Amino acid sequence: MNDVEGTIARIAAADDLPALDVVRVEALGKSGWVTGLLKTLGGMTPEERQLRGPEFQRVRARLTDAIAQRREQLEAAELERKLATERIDLSLPAPEHSRGTVHPISQVMEELAEIFADLGFAVAEGPEIESDWYNFTALNFPPGHPARAMHDTFYLQRTDADGLPYVLRTHTSPVQIRAMQERGAPLRVIAPGRVYRSDSDATHTPMFHQIEGLVIDRAIHLGHLKWTLETFLKAFFERDDIAIRLRPSYFPFTEPSAEVDVGWSLEKGRRVVGGQQGWMEVLGSGMVHPKVIAAAGLDPDQWQGFAFGTGVDRLAMLKYGMDDLRAFFDGDIRWLKHYGFSALAVPTLSMGVGA
């Protein structure tokens, strides 16, 4: 049998990983001497194999353990050397411009939260997977309403306690019901978040963002709604020449209901919000229907309120001159660099929400 102790000594003397690997191959490689010993077992008698087999295996195990131990020592020594010699110079100048940007949707969400916080609104949230009751029934949608149709709504296989399928919420209005149930009245909240509808083109996507506002109190009327919307739109578009008009409309959860148009004008060939050269629809609104207030557990004879809602993506397009909603979700780094915001551009009413 070859010199085991001599091989152990060579392993201990190896001063780097390549030298250690040379010893390993000579002993344990395919042509190594330990491997050769193991191959001789096939030509032995059963008695000799029973005697010599365990001895050969002990030799291989001893050398394998010695090599593993020495490898660990050499790797630890190499790591210590790198830690002692390599360093990062923290004094190097930072890039002139940060690489990441804040997505326009996130920026507009922050702008809206800042504006409505100044008006006394709290932020309310709810689940994106909703029961039929919260998404439709509690909001006064009758069973045969077109909004329940399969071509508009994403239905799930999971069903609620009434056996009706859960849905990906089609609007953030269910948060109104949850907020009234959890917080009672008086109440003043906004509900921003993602919503889902089966639609896709330059101005529609299957997933988009909405923000809704809800005020519940005593003696609330349309005048309060109109003032709130005018104040909000002037602060968001940062213009004092904002003009709005309310057109009669219909929503199941408000009565009376009104579409809200905002005036626009042409500046450098582009349509911008402000002035009265024309009108465009930006909001839906109305007085909260008594049935919705009752569904949330409040007495509609004691409490009244108004609600309004709009698409966050649409507001971003109007304010920052974007013409295709699909680009919001393409993840194109060039688009994000062009339309994105600096992480330090935090919206404030004092510095300007569009800073």
Known binding-site residues for Mg(2+) equal 255
Tokens of 115: 């504006």
Distance CA 339, CA 298 (A): 44
Which residues are CB-contacts of 293 (< 8 A; sequence separation ≥ 6)? 180, 216, 299, 300, 303, 304, 305
AA letter at 80: E
- Going by C-alpha positions, the residue among 294, 267, 263 that lies closest to residue 279 is 263
Distance CA 102, CA 6 (A): 65
Distance CA 77, CA 55 (A): 33
H helix or E strand, kind and range, residue 63? helix 46-85
- Going by C-alpha positions, the residue among 312, 282, 295 that lies closest to residue 216 is 295
| Binding-site residues | 255
51-66 b/e (C-beta count within 10 Å ≥ 16 → b): ebeeebeebbeebeeb
Please say whether the beta carbons of 252 and 142 come within 8 A. yes
DSSP output for 239-290 = -S---EEEEEEEETTEEEEEEEEEEEEEETTEEEESSSSEEEEEEEEEEEPH
Strands, E assignment, 161-243: 165-168, 187-196, 207-217
DSSP output for 155-166 = EEEEE-TTSPEE
CB-facing half-sphere around the CA of 305: CA atoms within 13 A = 30
C-alpha 310 chain-centroid distance: 20
